[in-house]
Homo-oligomer: A and B are copies of this chain.
Amino acid sequence: MRLSRYFMPILKENPKEAEIVSHRLMLRTGMIKQQSAGIYTWLPLGKRVLDKVNAIIREEQNRSGAIELLMPTLQSAELWQESGRYDAYGKEMLRIKDRQDRPMLYGPTNEEMITDVFRSYVKSYKDLPLNLYHIQLKFRDEIRPRFGTMRSREFLMKDAYSFDLTREGAEHAYNRMFAAYLRTFTRLGLRAIPMRADTGPIGGNLSHEFIILADTGESEVFCHKEFLDFDIPGEDTNFDDVAGLKAIFDKWTSRYAATSEMHDEAAFNAIPEAERVSARGIEVGHIFYFGTKYSEAMGAKVQGPDGKEHTVHMGSYGIGPTRLVPAIIEASHDENGIIWPRSVAPFEVVVINMKVGDAACDAACESLYTALSRAGVDVLLDDKDERAGTKFATADLIGAPFQVIVGPRSVAAGEVEVKDRKTGERETLTVEAAIARLTARD
């Protein structure tokens, strides 16, 4: 992308309404724009990050065996009356009447609808296990939306739903998602810690929140220090291996970890003081096993191997991409701006033309831009006629992992400077060596 043709409205001033650093940086870099309270446009730079986050979530969902579909945002009230949640769900549910005066709602979650999909088609245990997910907008009418897209009203959620014949099967489905989530957050550059959690309005009896530690987190969390070093399941994880996944789950639940709602002061204090972590955290995922709560109420049954009807066991598994983006920023920034992990960076490299119009600089920039783009690297070419200071500040602010500085003096020697945004290290390389360095992914 050439900056001269891009739409990346950088704000010069820090926006006053932003209370936390991610919100401030997302506004300043032109990633998002508020349209109404808790409702945002994702501007081009933000959209690029969101797409990459979604792509990683999707890859790991697919790897674990989950299957993608897309349910609509609007739901009929009838479905929710079946489960009993229509009245139980409070004012957070946005209730709507259509032109025929039929009661509808903007889905805050999809347990009812997916159960309806399931019961419409699946009749035999032979079609199980099944895990269906979508990445779709949700609406929750928060009384106090804040922190930008961290706590918004219209937000994106990846929600997966598992269906199994037995409780044991459902536990394996739970462990699959547990492992998939560990992999997902790691690929996003985050260390997330699973913590026993309250099941809230979803219901059920087994639930973990995945929490990343950040000073601006809304929840107070408590855990054992060892979590910071536990191994993450590898790319070769066999998601059909019941015992293998159970071992991952056991390992990652073997030490104390709890949000304040579930906190057990005595158990926590039993940990040697040096190994206690007491911090603030951001919830980035939440998984639930709730047995037959919805399948029972809505008649989701299959014929078992015994020829009898069995009510299926279900779980649901959420990740919020529109919350993950600010969460990653909270975890990775400095006083100059964002420091994106390469996996989700809107641009992996910014090529900075220090003297637009200078034939040698222009040519070197074009050759870098073309070579990197062809190699599949997302490059932003800063071809705007602006002061060096502005260009450097912008490149730091938007947080691309690498900057390539192309100035007349170094270009005359056939060289460019490559700066690592995270470490600040600079290296002078030939154009060819710079291309080789930047196309080599870890």
Which residues from chain A sit less than 8 Å from chain B, CB to CB?
5-7, 9, 30, 33, 35-37, 39-44, 46-47, 50, 65, 67-76, 91-92, 94, 96, 98-100, 102, 104, 106, 113, 116-117, 120-122, 127, 130, 132, 137, 139, 141, 143, 153-154
Contact = CB atoms under 8 A, between A and B. Distances in A.
A74 B99 CA distance: 17
A396 B265 CA distance: 63
B91 A94 contact: no
Given A35-B116, A120-B33, A139-B74, A7 B98 contact: no
B5 A76 contact: no
Interface centre among A33, A46, A75, A99 (most CB of B within 10 A): A99
Contact of A73 (B42, B43, B69, B137): B137
A127 B384 CA distance: 11
A36 B76 contact: yes
Number of identical monomers bound together in the oligomeric complex:
2
Nearest to A40: B72
7 contacts: A7-B130, A9-B120, A36-B74, A39-B76, A40-B72, A72-B137, A72-B154
A96 B94 contact: yes
A36 B74 CA distance: 9
A104 B100 CA distance: 18
Contacts of A6: 67
A196 B7 CA distance: 31
A73 B154 contact: yes
Contacts of A71: 35, 41-42
B44 A69 contact: yes
Cβ-closest 3 pairs across A and B: A9-B121, A42-B70, A36-B76
Contacts of A102: 36
Nearest to A156: B70
Contacts of A122: 9
A30 B42 CA distance: 32
A65 B5 CA distance: 8
A36 B70 CA distance: 15
A69 B47 contact: yes
A108 to B, nearest CB: 12
Contacts of A67: 6-7, 44
Nearest to A96: B96
A71 B43 CA distance: 8
A121 B154 contact: no
Given A35-B76, A41-B113, A120-B33, A70 B99 contact: no
A71 B154 CA distance: 11
Contacts of A96: 94, 96, 106
A192 to B, nearest CB: 25
A198 to B, nearest CB: 23
A72 B154 CA distance: 7
B69 A117 contact: no
A20 to B, nearest CB: 21
Contacts of A76: 35-36, 39
Given A6-B67, A73-B137, 11 more contacts: A5-B65, A7-B130, A35-B71, A35-B75, A36-B76, A36-B102, A39-B74, A41-B72, A73-B73, A98-B141, A98-B153
